[in-house]
Amino acid sequence: MHRVAIIGGGFGGLETAKRLAKAPVSIMLVDRWNYHLFQPLLYQVATGGLSAADIAIPLRFILRKQKNVQVWMAEVTDIDVERRMLIAPPRQIPYDTLVVAAGVSNGYFGNDHWSTAAPGLKSLEDAAEIRARTLYAFEMAEQEPDPELRRLWLNFVIIGAGPTGVELAGALGEITKDTLREDFRNIRTEEARIFVLDMAPRVLPSFPEDLSAAAEHSLIRLGVRPLLGVRVVEIGANGVRFERDGRQDSIGARTVLWAAGVQGSTLGRLLNRRAGAELDRMGRVLVEPDCSLPGHPEIFVIGDLACYRLAGGNTLPGVAPVAVQQGRYVARLIQARLQGATLKPFRYLNKGTLATIGRHHAVADFGRLRFHGPLAWFLWLFVHLLYLVSFQNRLLVAIQWAIQYFTFNRRARLIVPPPRHAPAAEPASSSKPSL
Amino acid sequence: MHRVAIIGGGFGGLETAKRLAKAPVSIMLVDRWNYHLFQPLLYQVATGGLSAADIAIPLRFILRKQKNVQVWMAEVTDIDVERRMLIAPPRQIPYDTLVVAAGVSNGYFGNDHWSTAAPGLKSLEDAAEIRARTLYAFEMAEQEPDPELRRLWLNFVIIGAGPTGVELAGALGEITKDTLREDFRNIRTEEARIFVLDMAPRVLPSFPEDLSAAAEHSLIRLGVRPLLGVRVVEIGANGVRFERDGRQDSIGARTVLWAAGVQGSTLGRLLNRRAGAELDRMGRVLVEPDCSLPGHPEIFVIGDLACYRLAGGNTLPGVAPVAVQQGRYVARLIQARLQGATLKPFRYLNKGTLATIGRHHAVADFGRLRFHGPLAWFLWLFVHLLYLVSFQNRLLVAIQWAIQYFTFNRRARLIVPPPRHAPAAEPASSSKPSL
């Protein structure tokens, strides 16, 4: 039996496995975690609207009826491309075809020390950390008598104005204006300031300009302050220093969130060392038109980890539909090859993109058709519910969204576990902060 | 304005605060966490049936409309009983009346080193740890080729056959028989063995004998193996050693859970040092008939941390209804005192106790009236839904229970964060385990 090993149970890896359900192959799906994560809603877990179990589904549960798949919770530490063997201590996993769909992690453009001060949003643990830090900041502000130190707790800086940054900022705006409004006695949560920084001259830089403008308008109505065309030069426990128009400036803030960049999984570097894979600036693996690794037709790289170049010189974006379509393509190609055939190169069909900014607002880009406002927002709700993997989760997310819509409440406002790198609360008499 | 400080937002502290809503007092409710935890359902979070947000509700949200309460997330490290001041660095909180409702933590009878090998179930973090270890054990068993080592992963030992131990065992029994049945390829989850150990000669020793017998019968039907009249002598990463009838025996197991004992919060020891409070063997604070500290009428201790002696020599059990009734009493007493009056001593009204064992089975003890079986189970469901603090949580828990009832699925089967003290998976060739 032809052995297919898949690394990663995200959108790409899971789709590959499912589409091979009827193929005469035996599949080993390896993941560090035991669940598939619906990343597009991760920011809602980070902002207390949903719980982990609403957007993460055990891989075994999804694949329980597909008897040609084994799910293997393990960390792949090496790949022996000669012997066609994954090394996942203490075991080894042989393969005939390998699909690497290991995704990306937070990337700090070489400033890895920023990760402590500015957690990103790629995993459930990241989401718990962001949730804990954000809520903890309001708790500390409530207790802080010194107005300058209180201001540090009430300033929130989000670095990156792409979809993740904008969605985080929109949710934080709602939280401060509505959700928490009655909860505190010594602070007015509306006084929180939410900054969104980006190097680009506009928010949602990957969207058309008119939608960027609409998104920016919605953010400002939620009290969010976009700071665009700025370059971040330093991030510390007390805030962010940045450059704009050649002049340096800074924002003091205890809570800084990172939504500015990603880097390819360590599996990319492994493929570079072991199979001569070429990596782009972000550590993504350059692939052939059929998603395979140059010189290694038996290895495919798909999803966020792949750098798939288009004819014009652009590359495909790191979004779920690309991963899903590549997974589907690779599954078909594997089956074709087993029958001695081959396929035309992979082609991405862009069905459009959506991003939401608080309640009632979203932007929708379907190429020629593009619009924003409540209709886009309903579409966003509908599409995200539709794509949630399990019916049970669709039901429970829909109910929680309805509750949230009518009550402004976000149930999961839990500081648990406590923030990992929360700066110690300092006595009011302490000296003024420096970064 | 008379200042009331309350330490702990559990059943006792929260009830005290709520019942003082109309009193001319200013209340400071101090808690280490930002939520009230519905402890009776914590075992369902530990076994993947519910999420943290289903049973934990932000204290600020519960009390948002009660303007005479401030919620203060802080750790009380000392009490200055002379100056009537709580020390919660970097701040101090003055009080006129103090209510200590700080609860209990896992108690290992002087064997604190057991806590690493055998986590208890008192907090949300404990629940996440137990959930992660339990699910991780099945993942490791699936990957383990050596039958003896696999057996270690498939043995689960629960120490303590009180309500928590029995409810955990029942849920684990269901998980192995139903929930996970289709999920694995190399193991049959029904082969997992679940042991419940207790020093007492029967399970649920605090219940009448006929109900203990019924509970034991239900456990055995779920495949659980009660081992009674045993004394645990050692717990390690590879299992448990115990003594029965003067002979030593052991069970090899990678997963050992602690449900055998609790000890009073460190606040009890603080009251001992600072206010001469007398502690019982479990570190609980001996209180006067009006729940106050001997010699300190302005300090009350209520809930699990209090050791309230009854006329016959017994003490009140550490259960939610005791804490709630004591909180209500103390709130009334504080108001009476403000008007120069006093109250008769506290009296506990036992409304009955329930414990559940898997689906369809529970035991109900209402003094003369006692019964078990499906009716008791429905009553258990109803009472627990009823007492959940928020309507939203009642709705969402009810829906999840319904889903679980009909599909056997438990949505929150997530290993996140990874188990803290998971013994490293060892190569199959390693020597056989010792404790």
Phi, psi of A11 (to 5 degrees): -60, -45
Per-residue confidence (pLDDT) for residue A53, from 0 to 100: 96
Least confident of A142-151, B232-241, B269-278, B422-431: B422-431
Q: Which of B121, B117, B21, B8 is nearest to B69 (CA)?
A: B21
Q: Is the domain of B214 the same as that of B315?
A: no
CA distances from B168 to A104, A119, A143, B194 (A): 37, 35, 39, 10
Residue B247 has pLDDT above 90, yes or no: yes
Counted domains in chain A: 2
Does some domain include residue A410? no
Please indicate, yes or no, if residue B428 is contained in any of the structural domains. Answer: no
In the prediction, which pLDDT does A390 show? 85
CB neighbour class for A147 (10 Å; exposed up to 12, middle 13-18, buried from 19) = exposed
The minimum CA-CA distance between B431 and chain A, rounded to whole Å, is: 15
- Name the minimum distance, in Å, from the CA of B278 to any CA of chain A: 32
Asked if residue A416 belongs to a domain, the reply is no
Residue B427 confidence (pLDDT) above 80: no
Asked if A327 and A255 sit in the same domain, the reply is: no
B324 with B273, same domain: the answer is: yes
Contacts of A183 in chain B (CB under 8 A): 58, 60-61, 64
DSSP strands (E only) in A327-431: 353-356, 362-366, 369-372
> Has residue B431 got a pLDDT over 50?
no
Burial readout A365-374 (b: 16 or more C-beta within 10 A, e: otherwise): beeeebebee
Give the count of alpha carbons within 13 A of A209, CB side only.
1
pLDDT at B85: 98
Furthest C-alpha separation in chain A: 76
| Whether A249 and A287 share a structural domain | no
Of A90, A180, A414, the CB nearest to B425: A90
Residue B404 tokens, joined: 């679980």
The CA-based angle B409-B411-B415, given to 5 degrees, is 120
Instruction: For residues A161 and A168, give the distance between their C-alpha atoms in angstroms, rounded to a whole number.
Output: 9
Mean pLDDT, all residues of chain A: 94
CB-defined contacts A:B, below 8 A: 140
pLDDT of amino acid B426: 46
- Establish if B69 belongs to a structural domain: no
- Mean pLDDT of all residues in B336-359: 95
A91 membership: H or E segment, kind and range: strand A91-94
How far is Cα A281 from Cα A359, in angstroms, rounded to an integer?
36
Tell me which of A338, A373, A391 is where a domain ends.
A338
Which helix (H) or strand (E) element contains residue A263? Answer: strand A262-264
User: Which of B98-102, B398-402, B419-423 shows the highest mean pLDDT?
Assistant: B98-102
Shared-domain flag, residues B217 and B100: no
- At A435, which amino acid appears? L
Q: pLDDT confidence of B41, banded at 50, 70, 90? A: very high
Average pLDDT of span B373-385: 95
Residue of A nearest to B390 (CA): A411
According to DSSP, the β-strands at A85-88 and A78-80 are: antiparallel
Q: Residue A28: give the domain boundaries.
A: 2-32+74-106+262-338
Cβ-proximal residues to A56 (8 Å cutoff; 6+ apart), any chain? A35, A36, A37, A38, A124, B414, B416
Residue of A411, A415, A430 to mutate, interface with B, max B Cβ within 10 Å: A411
> What is the Cα–Cα distance from A270 to A264, expressed in whole angstroms?
11
Where do runs of H (alpha helix) occur along B196-306? 209-221, 266-275
Test B392 with A403 for CB contact under 8 angstroms.
Answer: yes
CB-CB: which of A33, A139, A392 is closest to B411? A392
Q: Judge contact between B385 and B372, C-beta under 8 A.
A: no
* Axis crossing angle, helix A391-407 with helix B391-407, rounded to the nearest 10: 170
- Residue of A359, A390, A401, A362 lying closest to A51 (CA atoms): A401
Chain A residues whose beta carbon lies within 8 Å of the beta carbon of residue B64: 182-183
B272 and B135 in a common domain: no
pLDDT at B390 > cutoff 90: no
pLDDT confidence of A432, banded at 50, 70, 90? Answer: very low
Q: Does B375 share its domain with B266?
A: no
| Per-residue pLDDT band at A424 (split at 50, 70, 90) | very low
User: Cα distance from B232 to chain A (closest Cα, Å)?
Assistant: 31
Strands B2-7 and B69-73: unpaired
User: Is residue A254 situated within a structural domain?
Assistant: yes
Backbone phi, then psi, for B219, in 5-degree steps?
Answer: -60, -45
DSSP string, B27-70: EEEEESSSEEE-GGGHHHHHTTSS-HHHHEEEHHHHTTT-TTEE
Q: What are the Cα distances from residue B372, in Å, to A251, B43, B174, B295?
A: 63, 20, 19, 45
Residue B253 predicted with pLDDT over 50: yes
pLDDT tens per residue across span A291-317? 999 999 999 999 999 999 999 989 999
- Identify the helix (H) or strand (E) that includes residue A153: helix A147-154
Q: In Å, how far is B394's CA from the nearest CA of chain A? A: 12
Cross-chain Cβ contact A139/B73 below 8 Å: yes
Classify residue A126: in a domain, yes or no.
yes
Buried b (16+ CB within 10 A) or exposed e, A218-255: bbeebbbebbbebebeebbbbbbebeeeeeeeebbbbb
Q: B413 by DSSP, 3-state: which?
A: coil
Q: Taking the mean position of all CA atoms in its chain, how far away is CA A108? A: 14
Burial letters A273-307, b for 16+ CB under 10 A, else e? eebebebeebbbbbbbeebbbeebebbbbbbbbbb
Q: Which of A357-361, A371-375, A420-424, B187-191 has the lowest mean pLDDT?
A: A420-424
Q: Check residue A429 and give its pLDDT.
A: 40
- What CATH number is given to the structural domain containing A197? 3.50.50.100
Q: Count CB neighbours of B238 within 10 A.
A: 20
DSSP for B248-273, please give it. EEEEE-SEEEE-S-EEE-HHHHHHHH
pLDDT of B230 > 60? The answer is yes
Provide the 8-state DSSP code for A310: -
Last residue of a domain, one of A295, A321, A338: A338
- Residue B435, pLDDT score: 65
pLDDT at A384 over 50: yes
B261's CB contacts (< 8 A; 6+ apart) are: B106, B107, B108, B109, B160, B282
Q: How many Cα atoms sit within 13 Å of A319 on the Cβ side? A: 16
b/e per residue, A159-191, with b = 16+ CB within 10 A?
A: bbbbbbbbbbbbbbbbbbbbbbeebbeebebee
Instruction: Write the pLDDT tens digit of every residue in B4-16.
Output: 999 999 999 999 9
Do A253 and A292 belong to one domain?
Answer: no
Contacts of B9 in chain A (CB under 8 A): none
Of B58, B125, B415, the CB nearest to A33: B415
Facing residue for B51 by CB, picked from A51, A91, A185: A51
User: Residue A199: its pLDDT value, please?
Assistant: 97
Q: Which of A91, A183, A390 sits opposite B60 (nearest CB)?
A: A183
Interstrand relation of B56-58 and B35-37 (parallel, antiparallel or unpaired): antiparallel
Cβ–Cβ below 8 Å for A414 and B61: no
Q: Tell me the pLDDT tens digit for each residue of B267-316.
A: 999 999 999 999 999 999 999 999 999 999 999 999 999 999 999 989 99
pLDDT cut 70: percent of chain A above it: 97
Question: Is position B421 within any domain?
Answer: no
Span of A412-421, B194-203, B348-357, B366-375 with lowest mean pLDDT:
A412-421
* CA–CA dist B38, B233 (Å, integer): 32
Token pair 């599409």 is found at: A383
Instruction: Determine what percent of chain B is predicted with pLDDT higher than 70.
Output: 97
Q: Which of A129, A167, A174, A216 is catalytic?
A: A167
For residues B128 and B232, state if they share a domain: yes
The gap between the terminal CA atoms of chain A, to the nearest Å, is 59
Q: Which of A338, A368, A383 is the last residue of a domain?
A: A338
Looking at the structure, do residues B206 and B94 belong to the same domain, yes or no? no
B190 near B176, Cβ under 8 Å?
A: yes
DSSP H or E run through B402 = helix B391-407
CA distance A124 to chain B (A): 8
Q: CATH number for the domain including A92?
A: 3.50.50.60
Q: What is the pLDDT of residue B434?
A: 57
Q: Which has the closest alpha carbon to A133: A114, A119, A115? A: A119
The two beta strands, B224-228 and B193-198, are: parallel
Q: Decide if A414 and B58 are in contact by the 8 Å CB cutoff.
A: yes
Cβ contacts of A125 on chain B, cutoff 8 Å: 416-417
- R_g (Cα) of chain A, nearest Å: 22
CA–CA dist A44, A52 (Å, integer) = 10
CB contacts of A37 in chain B (<8 Å) are: none
Q: From residue B357, how far is each of B47, B166, B222 by CA, in Å? A: 13, 7, 9
By DSSP bridging, strand B104-106 and strand B262-264 are: antiparallel
Tell me how many helices (H) and strands (E) chain A has. 13, 25
The three-state secondary structure class of B406 is helix
Q: Alpha-carbon distance B221 to B214, whole Å?
A: 11
Looking at the structure, tell me whether residues B266 and B393 fall in a common domain: no
At A135 the pLDDT is 97
Q: Are the C-beta atoms of residues B372 and B214 closer than 8 Å to each other?
A: yes
Where b means 16+ CB within 10 Å and e means fewer, A35-62 reads bbbbbbbbbbbbbbbbbbbbbbbbbbbb
- The one-letter amino acid code at A68 reads N
Residue of A nearest to B408 (CA): A61
Q: Could you list the active site residues of B?
A: 167
SS3 A30: strand
- The question of ipTM being above 0.90 is answered as yes
Segment B216-241 mean pLDDT: 96
Whats the size of chain B, residue-wise? 435
Task: Give the pLDDT band of residue A428 (cuts 50, 70, 90).
Answer: very low
Helices (H), B175-208: none
Residue A244 lies in a domain: yes
pLDDT score recorded for residue B382:
94
Q: Are B192 and B302 found together in one domain? A: no
- A288 an active-site residue? no
